[in-house]
Chains A and B, each alone.
Chain A
Amino acid sequence: MNHLTDFEVFLMLSVLKVVVVLVITLLGVAYTVLLERKLLARMQNRWGPSRVGPFGLLQPLVDGAKSFLKEDMNPLAVERPLFILAPIIALGCALISVSVVPFGAVTRVRGVDLFQIANVNIGLLVILGVTSIGVYGITLSGWSSNNKYSLLGSLRSTAQVISYELALGLSLVGVVLRAQSLNLRVIVDSQSAHGALSWNIFGGFQFVAFFIYLMAAFAETNRAPFDLPEAENELVAGYHTEYSSMKFAMFFMAEYANMITVSCVATLLFLGGSTSIFGHIFDGILNTPIANAIFPVCWFVAKVFAFLALYIWVRATLPRFRYDQLMSFGWKFLLPLAMANIIVTSLVLAVRG
Chain B
Amino acid sequence: MQLALFIVFGALALGGALNLLLQRHPIYSALSLVVVMMSLAVLYWSLGAEFLAAAQVIVYSGAIMVLFVFVIMLLNAGKEEQTQGSRAAYSVGFPGAAAIFCLLSFVFLSERGSLQSTNIGGDLSSAVDNIAVLSAMLFTRQLLPFEVTSVLILVAILGAVVLARREQ
Interface positions of A (Cβ within 8 A of B): 82, 121-122, 125-126, 128-130, 132-133, 135-136, 139-140, 142-143, 151, 155, 158, 162, 165, 169, 181-182
CB distance from B27 to the nearest CB of A (A): 7
How distant is B127 from chain A, measured CB to nearest CB, in Å?
12
Residue from A126, A135, A139, A143 within 8 A of B54 (CB atoms): A126
Contacts A82-B31, A155-B73 aside, 15 further interface pairs with beta carbons under 8 A come to A121-B50, A121-B129, A121-B131, A125-B51, A129-B57, A132-B58, A132-B61, A133-B61, A133-B62, A135-B62, A136-B34, A139-B70, A143-B73, A158-B66, A169-B58
Residues of A within 8 A of B129 (CB): 121, 181
Within 8 Å CB of B63, what residues of A? Answer: 132, 162, 165
Given contacts A132-B63, A182-B131, contact A158 B58 (CB under 8 A): no
Distance between Cα atoms of A139 and B72 in the complex (Å)? 11
Contact in complex: A139, B66 (CB < 8 Å)? yes
Q: Does B36 have its Cβ within 8 Å of any Cβ on chain A?
A: no
Taking a contact as CB atoms closer than 8 A, the residue among A128, A136, A151, A181 that contacts B58 in the complex is: A128
Q: Total A-B pairs in contact (CB under 8 Å)? A: 63
| A122 and B73 form a contact (CB under 8 A) | no
Structural contact, A122 and B66, CB atoms closer than 8 A: no
Closest to A143 in B: B73
Query: CB-CB < 8 A to B55: which residues of A?
Result: 125
Task: List, in ascending order, chain A residues with CB within 8 A of B51's CB.
Answer: 122, 125
Choose one: B41, B58, B61, B73; the contact of A139 (CB below 8 Å): B73
Q: Does B47 contact A (CB under 8 A)?
A: no
Q: Would you call the interface of chain B mostly helix, strand, loop, or mixed?
A: helix
Using Cβ atoms and an 8 Å threshold, which residues of chain A touch B62? 129, 132-133, 135, 165
Contact of A158 with B54 in the complex, beta carbons under 8 Å: no
A129 close to B54 (CB less than 8 A): yes
A125 contacts B69, CB within 8 Å?
no
Q: Mark B71-97, 1 if CB is under 8 A from A, else 0.
A: 001100000000000000000000000
Q: Does B33 contact A (CB under 8 A)?
A: no
User: A78 → chain B, closest Cβ, in Å?
Assistant: 13
Interface status of B53 (Cβ within 8 A of chain A)? yes
Interface-centre pick from B34, B55, B58 (highest chain A CB count, 10 A): B58
User: Whole-angstrom distance between the alpha carbons of A27 and B62 in the complex?
Assistant: 29
Q: How far is the CB of A48 from chain B (nearest CB, A)?
A: 37
B2-41 contact mask (Cβ, 8 Å, vs A): 1 or 0: 0000000000000000000000000100010010001001
